[in-house]
Amino acid sequence: MLLLWPDPGGEVDPAIAYAGDPRPEPAGRPWVMLNMISTADGGAADPAGRSGGLGGPADKQVFVAIRAVADVIVAGAATVASEDYGPARLSPALREARRERGQAELPRLAVVTASLQIAPDRRLFREADPGNRPIVLTTATADRNRRRALEAVAEVIEVGDQQVDWHRALAALSSAAGARVVLCEGGPSTNARLVADDLVDELCLTLAPSMVGGTAPRIVDGPAGGRLVPLTLERALMADGYLFLRYARPSR
Residue 111 lies in a domain: yes
Per DSSP (E only), the strands in the chain are: 2-5, 31-39, 72-76, 108-112, 135-138, 155-158, 181-184, 202-208, 232-239, 242-248
Residue 146 lies in a domain: yes
Q: Tens place of pLDDT for every residue, the chain, 252 residues?
A: 999 999 998 999 999 999 999 999 899 999 999 999 999 999 999 998 889 899 999 999 999 999 999 999 999 999 999 999 999 999 999 999 999 999 999 999 999 999 999 999 999 999 999 889 999 999 999 999 999 999 999 999 999 999 999 999 999 999 999 999 999 999 999 999 999 999 999 999 999 999 999 988 999 998 766 778 999 999 999 999 999 999 999 976
Residue 83 lies in a domain: yes
Separation CA 160–CA 164 (nearest Å)? 5
Q: Are 160 and 140 in contact (CB under 8 A)?
A: yes
Residue 242 lies in a domain: yes
pLDDT of residue 225: 67
pLDDT of residue 228: 86
Residue 19 lies in a domain: no
3-class state of residue 166 by DSSP: helix
Find the CATH number of the domain harbouring 187.
3.40.430.10
Looking at the structure of the chain, the number of domains it has is 1
Residue 48 lies in a domain: no
pLDDT of residue 251: 79
Residue 149 lies in a domain: yes
pLDDT of residue 79: 94
Q: Which residues form the domain of 241?
A: 29-37+56-248
CA dihedral 188, 190, 191, 195 (to 10 degrees): 130
Closest CA to 195 of 169, 237, 165, 229: 229
pLDDT of residue 12: 96
Residue 219 lies in a domain: yes
Closest CA to 103 of 177, 162, 11, 6: 177
